[in-house]
C-alpha cells in the first residue's frame, strides 16, 4: 500500500477547511500560535496531528526518550481544529459495544473499560500537574429516549452495564423533567461514567505543556509523506526527515496514503447559546451542568455548561460540510422542540467538526511498517479514546510493552470499505436510514 501524496495535491485536501470557527475556542483568549518553522530539518520523531491522539503520543515519546528530538505538526491552531469541536464528554465506557477482540464480548468490554480508566486518570493527572483550566467536572451523563425504539436501545445497553458491573439510575419521564427540565423524553438513565471538559481549553493546555524536547508547529499542513525510514515529511514551506513518524490526523491520513480502504470522514454539527440569565437556566433543570447522549447515534446531544450556556449537537454529513444556515435552522429546531418555553432559541456560535469512522467501529491502530505508526478512526470518542491510544502508540514507538498495549493490539481491526462511488452511496444511504430510524431522537 503506497503512502505517497504528490506535492501537486491541493493543500486544503489534506485537512478540514471549516466554514466557521470552533465555538469552544471562541470563548477563550486569543492564542498566539507556534507558527515559526523549525530551524532544523531532521528529527527523531515527527507526529502529524496535534489533536488528543497526537499530543498524547508526542508527550509519551518525549517522556520515555528525553534525548529524542520530537516535532508535532498541525494544519491549524490548537483549539480550533477537530479536537476542539466536540461536545466535551469524556466517557470511560465502550463507545461501540460491538467492537470485537479476543475473548467474550464482556471480557473485551472490560478490557476497554480498564484502558479508558487508565487514560482518564492519566489525563486528570496532567490537568492537575499543569494547572490546565478546562472545567474538569466528573458529574456523569444522561442517556435519554424519545421513542420506543430508542427506549429499547437504552434498555439493551443497561443489560450490558449489568454484565460489566456498571451502576446507573433509571429515570421516568417525570424524573427526567425534574432533572433536565423537559418532558420530551419518555425514558432514560444516568451513570457516573463521564467527565465534562471544555475541549478547546483542554487541547490547548495539553499542547502548551508538552515536554521541553517537543517542538509544536501550528498552521502548517503536511501535504506528503514518503519513504521507509528515514521518512520524508513535506509541508508547503519545508521538507523534513524523521527516523519515525506517528500519524494522528484521523481520517485525513487517507490523503497521505494510509487506511484508504478502512477509514472515512463525516461532519457533525453543534451550536452554543449566549450566556443565559438565571431564569432561563432554571428552565434547563437545577444542576449547574449536565449532558444528554441520544438513544440513536444520529440523535441530538445536549449539554448545559458550567458557564451558563446551552449546547446542541446533531446530524451527520459525508465528507463535506452542510451550509451553516441550514445547520443553524436544524439545531434551533431541535432546541425548540425540547425546550419550547425558552425565551429565545438563538445561538451565538454554530460550527461543524469532522470525525473519522470505520465500518465496524474498530480503531486503525499500530505499526503500519517499521518506523511508521498510526492511530485513526476514534468513531466519535476522540478525547479519552484518542488520548489513551495515543499514549499507547507513543509507548509502542519506544519499544515498550505492557498488558494495556497487548489488549489494544488484540482488539478487532477495521473492516474493508468499498471504493468510491460505491462507498459514498453506501454511507449516505446508511445515514439516511439511521436519520429516518432516529425519528424524534433527532
Which pLDDT value is given to residue 441?
95
210, 171, 177: which is closest to 56 by C-alpha? Answer: 210
Helices (H), 181-224: 199-208
Which pLDDT value is given to residue 12?
53
The sign of the CA dihedral 363, 369, 370, 374 is negative
Which pLDDT value is given to residue 14?
77
Nine-digit cell string for 149:
425504539
Q: Given the DSSP bridges, would you call strands 263-272 and 238-247 parallel, antiparallel or unpaired?
A: unpaired
Nine-digit cell string for 126:
496532567
Q: Would you write out the chain's pLDDT as a tens digit for each of its 442 residues?
A: 333 333 344 555 778 889 999 999 999 999 999 999 999 999 999 999 999 999 999 999 999 999 999 999 999 999 999 999 999 999 999 965 444 555 688 899 999 999 999 999 999 999 999 999 999 999 999 999 999 999 999 999 999 999 999 999 999 999 999 999 999 999 999 999 999 999 999 999 999 999 999 999 999 999 999 999 899 999 999 999 999 999 999 999 999 999 999 999 999 999 999 999 999 999 999 999 999 999 998 999 999 999 999 999 999 999 999 999 999 999 999 999 999 999 999 999 999 999 999 999 999 999 999 999 999 998 888 899 999 999 999 999 999 999 999 999 999 999 999 999 999 999 999 999 988 889 999 9
Q: Where are the domains of the chain?
A: 15-85+201-262+361-421, 138-194+264-359+427-441
CATH architecture of 15-85+201-262+361-421: 3-Layer(bba) Sandwich (3.50)
CATH code reported for the domain at 138-194+264-359+427-441:
3.30.9.10
Q: What gap in Å lies between CA 130 and CA 134, rounded to an integer?
A: 11
The DSSP string of 227-270 is ESSSEEEEETTEEEEEEEEEE--GGGGGGGTSSTTTEEEEEEEE
Which pLDDT value is given to residue 4?
39
The residues that bridge with 349 in the sheet, in sequence order, are 272
Nine-digit cell string for 317:
454529513
Helices (H), 134-196: 148-164, 173-180
Which pLDDT value is given to residue 339?
98
Q: What gap in Å lies between CA 390 and CA 384, rounded to an integer?
A: 10
425, 327, 409, 341: which is closest to 375 by C-alpha? Answer: 409
Q: Given the DSSP bridges, would you call strands 141-145 and 290-294 parallel, antiparallel or unpaired?
A: parallel
Amino acid at each position: 500500500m503506497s503512502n505517497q501524496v504528490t506535492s501537486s495535491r491541493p493543500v486544503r485536501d489534506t485537512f478540514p477547511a471549516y466554514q466557521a470557527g470552533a465555538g469552544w475556542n471562541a470563548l477563550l483568549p486569543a492564542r498566539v500560535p507556534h507558527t515559526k518553522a523549525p530551524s532544523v530539518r531532521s528529527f527523531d520523531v515527527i507526529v502529524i496531528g496535534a489533536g488528543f491522539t497526537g499530543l498524547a503520543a508526542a508527550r509519551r515519546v518525549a517522556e520515555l526518550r528525553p534525548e529524542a528530538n520530537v516535532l508535532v505538526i498541525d494544519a491549524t491552531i490548537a483549539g480550533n481544529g477537530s479536537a476542539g469541536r466536540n461536545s466535551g464528554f469524556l466517557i470511560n465506557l465502550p463507545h461501540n459495544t460491538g467492537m470485537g477482540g479476543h475473548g467474550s464480548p464482556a471480557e473485551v468490554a472490560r478490557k476497554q473499560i480498564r484502558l479508558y480508566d487508565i487514560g482518564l486518570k492519566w489525563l486528570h493527572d496532567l490537568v492537575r500537574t499543569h494547572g490546565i483550566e478546562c472545567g474538569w467536572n466528573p458529574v456523569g451523563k444522561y442517556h435519554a429516549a424519545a421513542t420506543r425504539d430508542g427506549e429499547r436501545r437504552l434498555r439493551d445497553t443497561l443489560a450490558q452495564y449489568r454484565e460489566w458491573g456498571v451502576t446507573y439510575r433509571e429515570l421516568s419521564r417525570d424524573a427526567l423533567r425534574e432533572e433536565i427540565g423537559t418532558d420530551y423524553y419518555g425514558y432514560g438513565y444516568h451513570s457516573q461514567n463521564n467527565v465534562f471538559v471544555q475541549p478547546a481549553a483542554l487541547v490547548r493546555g495539553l499542547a502548551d505543556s508538552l515536554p521541553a524536547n517537543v517542538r509544536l508547529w501550528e498552521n502548517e499542513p503536511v501535504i506528503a509523506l514518503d519513504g521507509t525510514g528515514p521518512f520524508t515529511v513535506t509541508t508547503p514551506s519545508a521538507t523534513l526527515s524523521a527516523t519515525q513518524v506517528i500519524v494522528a490526523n484521523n481520517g485525513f491520513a487517507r490523503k497521505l496514503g494510509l487506511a484508504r480502504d478502512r477509514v472515512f470522514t463525516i461532519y457533525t454539527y453543534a451550536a452554543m447559546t449566549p450566556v443565559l440569565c438565571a431564569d432561563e437556566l432554571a428552565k434547563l433543570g437545577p444542576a449547574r451542568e449536565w449532558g444528554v447522549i441520544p438513544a440513536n447515534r444520529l440523535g441530538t446531544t445536549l449539554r448545559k455548561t458550567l458557564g451558563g450556556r446551552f449546547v446542541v449537537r446533531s446530524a451527520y454529513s459525508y465528507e463535506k460540510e452542510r451550509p451553516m444556515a441550514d445547520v443553524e435552522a436544524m439545531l434551533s429546531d431541535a432546541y425548540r422542540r425540547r425546550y419550547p418555553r425558552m425565551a429565545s432559541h438563538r445561538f451565538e456560535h454554530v460550527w461543524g467538526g469532522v470525525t473519522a469512522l470505520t465500518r465496524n467501529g474498530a480503531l486503525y491502530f499500530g505499526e503500519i511498517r517499521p518506523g511508521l505508526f498510526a492511530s485513526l478512526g476514534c468513531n466519535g470518542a476522540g478525547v479519552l479514546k484518542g488520548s489513551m491510544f495515543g499514549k499507547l502508540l507513543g509507548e509502542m514507538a519506544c519499544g515498550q510493552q505492557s498488558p494495556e498495549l497487548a489488549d489494544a493490539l488484540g482488539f478487532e481491526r477495521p473492516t474493508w470499505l468499498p471504493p468510491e462511488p460505491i462507498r459514498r452511496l453506501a454511507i449516505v444511504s446508511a445515514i439516511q436510514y439511521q436519520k429516518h430510524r432516529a425519528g424524534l431522537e433527532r
